[in-house]
Amino acid sequence: MKKIKLSFLALSVLSIGLLSSCGSDSSQTTTEQTTQTGTPAPDATPATVTIEISGTDQMKFDKSDIVVHEGQEVTLILHHSGKLPKATMGHNWVLLNQGVDMQAFDEKAAKAGEKNDYIPQDAASDMIAHTKLLGGGESDTITFKAPAEGAYDFLCSFPGHSSMMKGKFVVMK
Ligand code: ZN
């Protein structure tokens, strides 16, 4: 019994010793970690990801699927690669929360009008992120945190566009 107690004590002293040596030697530990991350594991998920998507004068997005990872900081760049003005062929990119009915959202967006970039001002909880409304040649960049694992809908909320301009935003673990 006495022997066990003693070895426990010895172990505690050892742990404290290790902890304090780590604390006082943090610069060396950091250097070692940097060296190790020089060759990252193949399955390492980057903390950030940049997605570019274009809308055209033919009322289409050039991507129907976007895949990111949970918790990633997503930088999304929307381009309008056409020439038409936003009054007739405006494009935005809206990411809906799960469970939001796209048709119902579209109706709210149409009521919000061009002055609000077709973003319903009283439906913030419907959206995870959105860009502004663009005309030909314009771009907009937004940054947001990828939501929980799952599939989400994205669309252009310009009236009548979501039948053609929509897709899936897939968040992986
Ligand atoms: Zn559009």
Q: Is the pLDDT of residue 75 over 50?
A: yes
Distance from the alpha carbon of residue 44 to the mean position of ligand 1, in angstroms: 35
Cα(165) to centroid of ligand 1, in Å? Answer: 6
Q: How far apart are CA 142 and CA 50, in angstroms?
A: 10
Which pLDDT tens digit goes with each residue over 21-33?
A: 444 444 444 444 4
What sign has the CA pseudo-torsion 98, 116, 103, 166?
negative
> What's the 144 CA to ligand 1 centre distance in angstroms?
21
Nearest to 162 by CA among 108, 123, 122, 121: 108
Query: What per-residue confidence (pLDDT) applies to 38?
Result: 56
**What is the distance in A from the centroid of ligand 1 to the CA of 50?**
21
Lowest mean pLDDT among 7-16, 87-96, 119-128, 144-153: 7-16
pTM over 0.85: no
